[in-house]
Amino acid sequence: MKKCFGRILAKPQNLLDLRSRLPQPVALQMNILFLNGPNLNLLGQREPEIYGSTTLSDIETQVRKRAKVLKTDVTFRQSNQEGELVSWIQEAKGNFDVIVLNAAAYTHTSIALRDAIVAAGVPTIEIHLSNIHAREEFRHRSVIASVCRGQIAGFGANSYILGLEAAYNVKV
């Protein structure tokens, strides 16, 4: 050991030992809200050539497994009603850190969802199972994209895992 101004300095190799004895930072605990719009309750049955054969329940199970690894809580909700989705977005403020939103058909039409995202101020990730930009012309425009943190589209059920990863990284 060396003495420097009356203090004992540890040898460099001992610094690693000291660091391992320090309290470790507490894992970040996040609450992420997954909102699913109209017809997503029919996943696995509806147009499997576009949306695949995986059900929304299967997707939720996959996301929960990954969320556990990330030490993150996830809540899943689905509604065919625009107003219910708006209410859930508004209620997210103060209760959730990030929203992952598959607005489905409302992506292209709902100014109400767009305004709710702005009003709530909760970072929102837009996701889609299919690549909306490679489909029918009317699906190319998202009215919510400009108020979302980002958009993930075209990766099938993996869009949800990618959405979780994106949401996790919003706060990290």
Which residues have a catalytic role annotated? 51, 128
Query: In angstroms, rounded to a whole number, what is the distance separating the alpha carbons of residues 36 and 75?
Result: 11
Contact, 96 vs 33, CB < 8 A? Answer: yes
Q: Identify the CA nearest to 34 among candidates 97, 116, 109.
A: 97
Query: In angstroms, rounded to a whole number, what is the distance separating the alpha carbons of residues 23 and 40?
Result: 44
Contact, 32 vs 97, CB < 8 A? Answer: yes
Query: In angstroms, rounded to a whole number, what is the distance separating the alpha carbons of residues 53 and 121?
Result: 34
